[in-house]
Structure 1
Amino acid sequence: MSQDQLTAADAEKAFWEALETSNTGLLGLDQPGYHAQPMTAFREAETGTIWFFTRADTDLARDVAVGGVGGGGQSAMFHYGSKDQKVWACIHGDLSVHGPDRQIIDRYWNPVLAAWYLGGKDDPHLTILRFDGDDGRVWVSDGGLLKFGFEIVKANIARTRPAVGGVADVSLQ
């Protein structure tokens, strides 16, 4: 697949599908000197919203809260790589503190989340961040490790570039 063959729609679809099965990425504010941190993403299919559970006393939650709970948020970036390394993405959007929403907590609660909150679903430190992506770039590889290796060898012999996938800019609005 060449870059010309990957449409924005196909790239966006590949991103959302990959995020369903492999949902960990790096989330951080889009500010100089700010470092992204590993976070588990929970996508709400109906709206495209991505939810992140965190403790209200973390640096990220406090920094995002500058925009106000339930109000405008902060410019943020979500960096993603699927476990199979076939989909990579850098998504820009708005990150805001949503607060402890029981409906969202009940929908996505699992044993991994429970390990971080000693008070369970009612832990006073539990809060939820809302990420609304607006645009990004998605890379999609159309083959596995064997195809990648073949393309690298072929490119070195033929003095061409390897055909390992495509890239497309996406608009998530």
Structure 2
Amino acid sequence: MVDLKEARNDPKKQLWDEIEDVRAVMLGIPSSGQHMQPMAPMAAREENRVWFFTRRDSELVRAAGSGKAQMCVVSDDQDYHACVSGALIENRSPRHIERFWSPVVAAWFEGKDDPEMTLLELVPDHASVWASSDSSLRFGWEIAKANLTNEEPDIGHHAQFAMGA
């Protein structure tokens, strides 16, 4: 369950926490004309980077560098949504391959030296996040109150911020 207080006070930290907790995000480059696709994020918060293992012949690798990328994050509880934009670069960093290698990644490739494997590095520069209450009681209360007072219901928080270091 998302913490609405943290959403208001430290949305960047909360975003990184959510990226670290999800199994997949949707990643794409809108200007490429390709659809977004599910990818497993490897968060490197201290570097302000998100890494992805993929095949060298993938659509995303071909489109990398051709425009601004977007990554969409939805929490498992569906009470947190985010869109992160930034540069997407192919970077077969041996240090990051070693850092993020796992049995799950190994299932897709023939080893760390597989010539068909590469990494994509997302360098986030901006984010827009929405955090909402998953409490049906609070939701019902806010809807009822809004209908009586003609005020918008308060069921969450939206923030936009720069992602740079």
TM range (shorter): 0.7 to 0.9
Aligned: 1:74 with 2:67:
yes
Residue 155 of structure 1 deviates from its aligned partner by: 3.9
**In the alignment, what sits opposite 1:19?**
19
For structure 1, which runs of at least 5 residues remain unmatched after alignment?
A: 68-72
Residues 7, 14 of structure 2: 8 Å contact kept: no
Distance in 1 between the 2:123 and 2:7 partners? 23
May I ask how many residue pairs the two structures share in their alignment?
A: 159
CA 1:169–1:123 in 2, change beyond 3 Å: closer, same or farther?
A: same
Q: What amino acid sits opposite 1:95 in the alignment?
A: L
> Which one-letter code corresponds to 1:172 in the other structure?
M
Residue of 86, 93, 104 corresponding to 1:112: 104
State the TM-score, normalized to the length of structure 1. Answer: 0.80
Extract unaligned runs of 5+ from structure 2. Answer: none
| Distance change (3 Å), C-alpha of 1:149 and 1:105 | farther
Moved over 6 A (4+): none
Report the TM-score when normalising by structure 2.
0.84
Q: 1:32 to 1:159 in 2, by over 3 A?
A: farther
1:28 Cα deviation after fit? 0.5
Which amino acid in the other structure matches residue 91 of structure 1? V
User: Cα RMSD over matched residues?
Assistant: 2.4
2:68 is paired with a residue of what secondary structure?
A: strand
The 8 Å contact of residues 31 and 67 in structure 2, kept in 1 or not, is answered as no
Contact conserved, 1:135 with 1:170, CA < 8 A, in 2? yes
Where do residues 27-106 of structure 1 align in structure 2 (5 Å cutoff)? 27-31=27-31, 33-64=33-64, 67=65, 74-99=67-92, 101-106=93-98
